[in-house]
């Protein structure tokens, strides 16, 4: 008899998201060694699937053994060197996180700050970057704390004019919204498996373009992180298969199966499904008299932030949803605590049925959770 018996939850928060049954089945398959030829075959299949989702032809596309935050730190530790000027487009919690990582790696931080939930125009990016002339620029394409989407083309164009590399956080966009690494001109992008890709947490996809690879090859000092050193990881995954670390083999199975599901659905159809279900959720919230926090043109399709209605206690709503319906959603972070809900419509969980169920459950919860 199994000793692990978690409750059944419908995960409609900011992640993890619901996992496809085929992904659960894949995780249960026999483990091979992390130097086994079959493992490297799986890794190569993952690379091809991720290239499609990222919208890139980058050969340097791989997976970090760690969650999305490990992907963020991989980008920082490999491309930040002490004293480097590092520009951050700051409009939410995860922009603050990459700022802190850059600071700890010795960067000289400059930030263009906007209120949480607002995006950046190309003109703002051009003015900021041309004034500061950084060597590295970071922006959060999908800000999970606010539900704001910043595609980033204007940022990347401005960065290239001054010779800077760009890092994009795509943790909550990959697999559910257009990422378009090549079309946007993004040099380094990272993500996580537990959002729109529909896997359990534990892996961080990353892709590096030609300019980023050139920087890595020219870098004299090694990364301060041994575990996240991309040069060492390339020797493991790509060339000599030289032992680096014990990869979480079962999670690679899971990601491979998730990418197979995406391939069968077709990425354009998958993105359209996310768009339609997001819009249906927004319409449902409007029917309850609840406004969205982010302006329409900047909203994520994967992560929604409806405002907490006046007179309603957000914690009471979330407790009611768990207790009565087994539905998990999240509250706001930082300055948005108590002001918004963070509700995921992503991956396997992005369906018309789930949207309808959630809107009805929220209608009930709002009625019983008056502050």
Q: Are residues 222 and 356 in the same domain?
A: no
- Say whether the peptide bond before residue 16 is cis (omega within 30 degrees of 0): yes
Dihedral of the alpha carbons of 47, 49, 51, 57, in degrees to the nearest 10:
80
Write the pLDDT tens digit of every residue in 140-167. Answer: 999 999 999 999 999 999 999 999 999 9
- pLDDT cut 90: percent of the chain above it: 93
pLDDT of residue 232: 87
Q: Are residues 238 and 282 in the same domain?
A: no
Per the domain annotation, does 91 fall within a domain? yes
CB within 8 A of 169, min separation 6: which ones? 72, 94, 98, 138, 139, 140, 141, 142, 143, 189, 190
Q: Are residues 137 and 274 in the same domain?
A: no
Q: Are residues 112 and 255 in the same domain?
A: yes
Domain boundary among the residues 222, 243, 263 is at 263
State the Cα–Cα distance between residues 164 and 161, nearest whole angstrom. 8
Q: Are residues 90 and 226 in the same domain?
A: yes
Write the pLDDT tens digit of every residue in 219-231. Answer: 999 999 999 999 8
Of 135, 133, 90, the residue nearest 112 (C-alpha): 90
CA distances from 357 to 21, 336, 343 (A): 20, 25, 13
Q: Specify the CATH number for the domain of residue 285.
A: 3.90.1150.10
Write the pLDDT tens digit of every residue in 33-64. Answer: 988 999 999 999 999 999 999 999 999 999 99
State the Cα–Cα distance between residues 149 and 23, nearest whole angstrom. 27
The answer to whether the beta carbons of residues 39 and 249 sit under 8 Å apart is yes
Per the domain annotation, does 356 fall within a domain? yes
Domain that holds residue 139: 21-263
Average pLDDT for residues 232-250, to the nearest whole number?
79
Tracing tokens 């209608």 back to the chain, one arrives at: 363
């Amino acid at each position: 008899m199994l000793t692990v018996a978690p409750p059944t939850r419908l995960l409609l928060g900011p992640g993890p998201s619901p996992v496809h049954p085929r992904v659960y089945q894949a995780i249960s398959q026999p483990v091979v060694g992390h130097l086994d030829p079959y493992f490297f075959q799986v890794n190569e299949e993952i690379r091809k699937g991720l290239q499609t989702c990222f919208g890139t032809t980058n050969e340097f596309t791989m997976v970090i053994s760690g969650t999305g935050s490990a992907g963020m730190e991989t980008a920082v530790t490999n491309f930040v060197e002490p004293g480097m000027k590092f520009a951050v487009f700051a409009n939410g919690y995860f922009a603050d996180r990459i700022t802190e990582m850059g600071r700890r790696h010795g960067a000289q931080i400059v930030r263009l700050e906007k209120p949480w939930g607002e995006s950046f125009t190309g003109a703002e990016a051009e003015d900021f970057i041309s004034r500061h002339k950084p060597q590295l620029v970071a922006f959060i394409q999908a800000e999970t704390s606010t539900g704001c989407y910043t595609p980033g083309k204007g940022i990347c164009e401005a960065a290239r004019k001054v010779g800077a590399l760009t890092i994009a956080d795509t943790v909550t966009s990959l697999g559910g919204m257009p990422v378009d690494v090549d079309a946007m001109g993004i040099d380094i992008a990272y993500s996580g498996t537990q959002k729109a890709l529909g896997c359990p947490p534990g892996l961080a996809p990353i892709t590096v373009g030609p300019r980023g690879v050139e920087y890595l090859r020219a870098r004299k000092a090694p990364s301060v992180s041994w575990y996240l050193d991309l040069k060492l990881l390339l020797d493991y995954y790509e060339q000599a298969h030289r032992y680096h670390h014990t990869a979480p083999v079962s999670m690679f199975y899971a990601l491979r199966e998730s990418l197979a599901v995406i391939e069968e659905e077709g990425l354009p159809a998958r993105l359209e499904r996310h768009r339609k279900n997001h819009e249906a959720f927004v319409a449902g919230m409007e029917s309850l008299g609840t406004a969205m926090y982010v302006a329409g043109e900047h909203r994520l399709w994967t992560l929604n932030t409806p405002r907490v209605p006046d007179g309603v206690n957000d914690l009471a709503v979330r407790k009611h949803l768990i207790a009565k319906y087994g539905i998990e959603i999240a509250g706001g972070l930082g300055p948005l605590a108590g002001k918004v809900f963070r509700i995921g419509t992503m991956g396997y969980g992005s369906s018309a049925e789930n949207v309808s169920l959630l809107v009805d459950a929220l209608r009930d919860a709002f009625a019983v959770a008056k502050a």
